[in-house]
DNA sequence: TTGTACGCGTTATCAA
DNA sequence: TTGATAACGCGTACAA
């Protein structure tokens, strides 16, 4: 009156082994390194696996193999098209390589982010994707101590000894500003995301300043308003900026969402874009093409960034390859929201 | 000349126990059920935990506890604001309850989705969030067999014995169509997402038909074009629809993204919205407020849905509570893109 | 309140 | 190519 495992539970490796008439080691090998097993036994084992609907226990596997095949992504928020795009690409590459993605968002809060990072590693993440390079050095120490490979995305100037896949925020903004200056703009204002704990935002503002400087203009004369990431906030900021006198001829925005708000505000103020005031964005999300006028902006290869980040991370974990620094190209997308000051569309057509 | 664990590895429960001068059981209890431990020893153990920077090994924990505190979400794509919103909320509630989120996207492909679901449970997910109720019954059997709690979101008509948190897609679309019919619209066309494997899309079309039927109009006379989820596709579909003669006075769209494309196409065709043709959306994402004219659409409480889904799932797993069916309210958001046929804005202001 | 001791399901080492 | 078996690190009856 004694049975082995009547617990009505899921089948285990041992169950498969017994049913197939082999040892657990052979079953394990069949699953993990099929080429070490003879064709015949492999067939038999696989058949048993299917018959028993066996699926390996994750915890046991992680415990024994010291690897989870799980990767964490800690981002500011999924409710931002740029991160959603990057994540989607990151995840796709992971899946294509048999790995799974863990996601947590920090709401741009460094304390929450730190917590999430710790949670990720406690959850056994084999590697981690982080956005931006700026954070408490202690976190980097922690990560290094646990030997967790990290890839930093969205910024090209990474932390030494860490992988990064990004682009030069500052150079991109500088180029855009330089183009505007070339068009004749002199009074430029900037609506930025909060720059605290956000190196990307800071670099973009710095880029605009650098262009001003290079053109012999006073970089510190540029009004900069920092605000939250939302259309409404972009709108409010724009209104405030237009209270200045003389008014700016160009309002650069740290991202397309803020720019969309600015364009909206311009309409409400009875200002024509770009005739009365030019507006630029950054990111090139779909929103930029949908509003009137469409946004002149900086194209950022979000999807490529996410995909590459996954590849770099996988290489580090699986092939133990060295950290890499990848810098992607951005480019200006010319649409309608930027033109020379006082530009008249119909006249210009001549 | 013998040491216990000189492997230069991470500290284990045993290390903490030894350093604190207690048994591993006590350390485990301090961590998992602090109230079963005396204040004094708890203090001491916690201090040691911090000193050693101990963090429990995930695999071992999962193996012993038969629980991972990890929940999976399988969605069509993160690159869709509605799912991004829902996921963000889902994740927030999870984190607030000490759990972690696994994410996979299926690209609306049933085969991929099935794969992802299996992967999730192979990864030890304690529960799973799925979008929409329609899928191979075999998958539900599989889930049931493994005793994995499931919550289905985005649709109110769930699978029996499974939790769902959603809303009535059909009723919402019916109501919107009824309002349009009340306004005088008779020739209505519909741009839908692909309805195959998508009960939400199908229900929305059915809702419009139901309203037509209720008004004594022929539901089958309504032209329906199915297309991919993108602004460009909405644009193309709209153009095609407007080739009909007589033209529809209203084009309903299955979601806001398609509607945005339709509005764009109307502009390009020289048609005024809503004077020449009305357009409606569905979802009420930010995009709806940003385009000109702003979209009259159905507001769907995406965030609430995601948050509730997490709560329902957690309750099932942790409190072993019964599956729940939650139906959320939607409502029509009246903006500018829907008006009576031939409506003249300036005249109407009188 | 605390400790002992076993089991959880795999992987991996070593022999055969 | 295959098998026996020792880890792997933690939770939890059960006992004290």
Digit-coded pLDDT (tens) for A120-148: 999 999 999 999 999 999 999 989 888 89
Kindly calculate the radius of gyration of chain B based on its CA atoms and give it in whole angstroms: 27
pLDDT, residue A6, reads 38
Q: Which of A316-330, B20-34, B97-111, B154-168 has the lowest mean pLDDT?
A: B154-168
What percentage of residues in chain A have a pLDDT greater than 90?
87
Question: What per-residue confidence (pLDDT) applies to B345?
Answer: 59
Model confidence at B6: pLDDT above 80: no
Tell me what pLDDT residue A109 has. 94
Find the Å distance, CA of residue A97 to C1' of nucleotide C9. 24
pLDDT tens digits, residue range B204-253? 999 999 999 999 999 999 999 999 999 999 999 999 999 998 999 999 99
Is B59's CB within 8 Å of A55's CB?
A: no
What is the predicted pLDDT for the residue at A342? 79
CB B163 within 8 A of CB B150: yes
Using an 8 Å Cβ cutoff, are B235 and B209 in contact? no
The yes-or-no verdict on residue B135 having pLDDT over 50 is: yes
Residue pLDDT, tens place only, A166-220: 999 999 999 999 999 999 999 999 999 999 989 999 999 999 999 999 999 999 9
Tokens of B230: 């993108």
Which H or E run contains B60? Answer: helix B58-65
The per-residue pLDDT of chain B, averaged, comes to 92
CA of B29: nucleotide with nearest C1': D11
Distance B125 CA to C12 C1' (A): 26
How confident is the model at residue A346, as a pLDDT? 54
Q: How far is CA B160 from CA A179, B116, B140, B199, in A?
A: 61, 22, 11, 16
> Nearest CB to A84: which of B84, B118, B120?
B84
Whole-number Å distance between alpha carbons of A244 and B278: 40
Bases of chain C within 7 A of a CB of the protein:
1-5, 7-13
pLDDT for A139: 93
Q: What is the pLDDT of residue B157?
A: 76
**pLDDT value at residue B203:** 96
pLDDT in tens, B155-202: 887 678 899 999 999 999 999 999 999 999 999 999 999 999 899 999
More confident residue, B88 or B348: B88
The confidence score (pLDDT) of residue A9 equals 73
Q: What pLDDT is recorded for position B346? A: 54
Assign B273 a pLDDT band (cuts: 50, 70, 90). Answer: very high
CB A315 within 8 A of CB A339: no
pLDDT value for A156: 82
Q: Which residues contact B196 (CB under 8 A, 6 or more apart)?
A: none
| pLDDT value at B73 more than 60 | yes
Integer angstrom CA distances of residue B268 from A170, A272, B235, B293, B296? 36, 20, 10, 14, 20
- Distance, in Å, from the CA atom of A19 to the CA atom of B266, rounded to the nearest integer, reads 66
- Looking at residue A2, what is its pLDDT? 34
Closest CA to A94 of B90, B105, B69, B125: B105
Are residues A205 and A196 in contact, defined by beta-carbon separation less than 8 angstroms? no
Query: Phi then psi for B296, rounded to 5 degrees?
Result: -80, 125
Using a pLDDT cut of 90, give the percent of chain B over it: 86
Instruction: Please name which of B251, B234, B233 lies closest in space to residue B242, comparing C-alpha atoms.
Output: B251
- Distance, in Å, from the CA atom of A325 to the CA atom of B169, rounded to the nearest integer, reads 47
Cα distance from A107 to chain B (closest Cα, Å)? 10
Query: Using the CB atom, is residue B26 less than 7 Å from strand C?
Result: yes
Is a pLDDT exceeding 70 seen at residue A288?
Answer: yes
The Cβ of residue B183 has, within 10 Å, a number of other Cβ atoms equal to 16
- How would residue A1 be classed by pLDDT, with cut points 50, 70 and 90? very low
What is the reported pLDDT for B343? 72
- What mean pLDDT is predicted for residues B283-302? 95
CB A250 within 8 A of CB A277: yes
Answer whether A123 sits within 8 Å of B58, measured CB to CB: yes
Q: Is A129 exposed, middle or buried (0-12, 13-18, 19+ CB in 10 A)?
A: buried
Position A347 scores a pLDDT of 43
Question: What is the pLDDT averaged over residues A159-163?
Answer: 86
Q: Is residue B24 pLDDT above 60, yes or no?
A: yes
Size of the A and B interface in Cβ pairs below 8 Å: 139
Distance from CA of A161 to the nearest CA of B (A): 21
3-state SS class at B317: helix
3-state secondary structure chain A: CCCCCCCCCCCCHHHHHHHHCCCHHHHHHHHHCHHHCCHHHHHHHHHHHHHHCCCCCHHHHHHHHCCCCEEEEEECCCCCHHHHHHHHHHHHHHHHCCCEEEEEECCCCHHHHHHHHHHHHHCCCCEEEEECCCCCHHHHHHHHHCCCCEEEECCCCCCCCCEEEEECHHHHHHHHHHHHHHCCCCCEEEEEECCCCCHHHHHHHHHHHHHHHHCCCCHHHCCEEEECCCHHHHHHHHHHHCCCCCCCCEEEECCHHHHHHHHHHHHHCCCCCCCCCEEECCECCCHHHHCCCCCEEEECCHHHHHHHHHHHHHHHHHCCCCCCEEEECCEEECCCCCCCCCCCHHHHCC
Confidence bin at A350 (pLDDT 50/70/90) = very low
Query: Which of residues B253 and A7 earns the better pLDDT score?
Result: B253
pLDDT of residue B3: 37
pLDDT bucket at A7, cuts 50 / 70 / 90: very low
CA dihedral B229, A334, A231, A85 (to 10 degrees): 40
Percent of chain A whose predicted confidence (pLDDT) is above 70: 95
From the Cβ of A25, is strand D under 7 Å away? yes
Average pLDDT rounded to a whole number, residues A88-112: 96
Mean pLDDT of chain A: 92
CA distances from A185 to A179, A334, B221 (A): 9, 16, 56
Which has more pLDDT, B159 or B37?
B37
- Of all residues in chain B, the one with the smallest CA distance to A106 is B92
Answer yes or no: is pLDDT of B89 > 80. Answer: yes
Report the chain A residue with the minimal C-alpha distance to residue B124.
Answer: A58
Q: Record the tokens describing residue A204, joined without a space.
A: 């973009």
The alpha-carbon radius of gyration of chain A (Å, integer) is 27
Tokens of B57: 């090994």
Please give the backbone phi and psi of residue B127, each rounded to the nearest 5 degrees, phi first: -165, 165
Side-chain-side CA neighbours of residue A268 (13 Å): 13
Tokens 């949670």 -> residue: A119
A219 CA: distance to closest CA in chain B (Å) = 32
Residue A54 has pLDDT above 70, yes or no: yes
Evaluate whether A152 touches A159 at the Cβ level (below 8 Å).
yes
Whether B233 contacts B227, CB under 8 Å: yes
**Three-state SS for B328?**
strand
Q: Taking CB atoms and an 8 Å cutoff, what residues of chain A touch B31?
A: none
């Amino acid at each position: 009156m004694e049975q082995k495992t009547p617990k009505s539970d899921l089948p285990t490796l041992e169950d498969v082994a017994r049913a197939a008439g082999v040892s657990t080691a052979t079953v394990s090998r069949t699953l993990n390194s099929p080429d070490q097993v003879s064709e015949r036994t492999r067939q038999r084992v696989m058949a048993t696996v299917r018959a028993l609907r066996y699926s390996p226990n994750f915890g046991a596997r992680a415990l024994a193999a010291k690897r989870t095949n799980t990767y964490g992504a800690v981002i500011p928020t999924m409710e931002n098209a740029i991160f959603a795009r990057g994540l989607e690409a990151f995840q796709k590459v992971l899946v294509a390589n048999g790995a799974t993605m863990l996601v947590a968002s920090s709401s741009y809060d460094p304390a929450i982010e730190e917590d999430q990072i710790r949670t990720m590693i406690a959850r056994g993440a084999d590697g981690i994707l982080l956005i931006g390079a700026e954070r408490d050095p202690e976190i980097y120490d922690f990560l290094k101590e646990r030997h967790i490979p990290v890839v930093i995305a969205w910024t090209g100037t990474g932390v030494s000894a860490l992988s990064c896949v990004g682009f030069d925020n500052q150079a991109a903004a500088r180029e855009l500003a330089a183009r505007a200056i070339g068009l004749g703009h002199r009074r430029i204002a900037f609506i930025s995301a909060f720059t605290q704990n956000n190196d990307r935002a800071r670099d973009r503002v710095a880029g605009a300043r650098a262009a001003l400087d290079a053109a012999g203009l006073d970089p510190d004369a540029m009004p900069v308003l920092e605000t939250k990431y939302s259309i409404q906030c972009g709108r409010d900021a724009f209104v405030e900026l237009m209270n200045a006198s003389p008014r700016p001829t160009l309002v650069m925005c740290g991202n397309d969402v803020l720019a969309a708000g600015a364009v909206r505000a311009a309409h409400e103020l009875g200002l024509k874009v770009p005739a009365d005031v030019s507006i630029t964005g950054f990111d090139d999300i779909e929103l930029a093409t949908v509003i009137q006028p469409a946004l002149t902006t900086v194209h950022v290869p979000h999807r490529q960034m996410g995909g590459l980040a996954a590849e770099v991370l996988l290489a580090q974990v699986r092939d133990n390859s060295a950290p890499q620094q990848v810098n992607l190209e951005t480019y200006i997308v010319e649409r309608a929201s930027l033109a020379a000051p006082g530009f008249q569309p119909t006249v210009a057509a001549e």
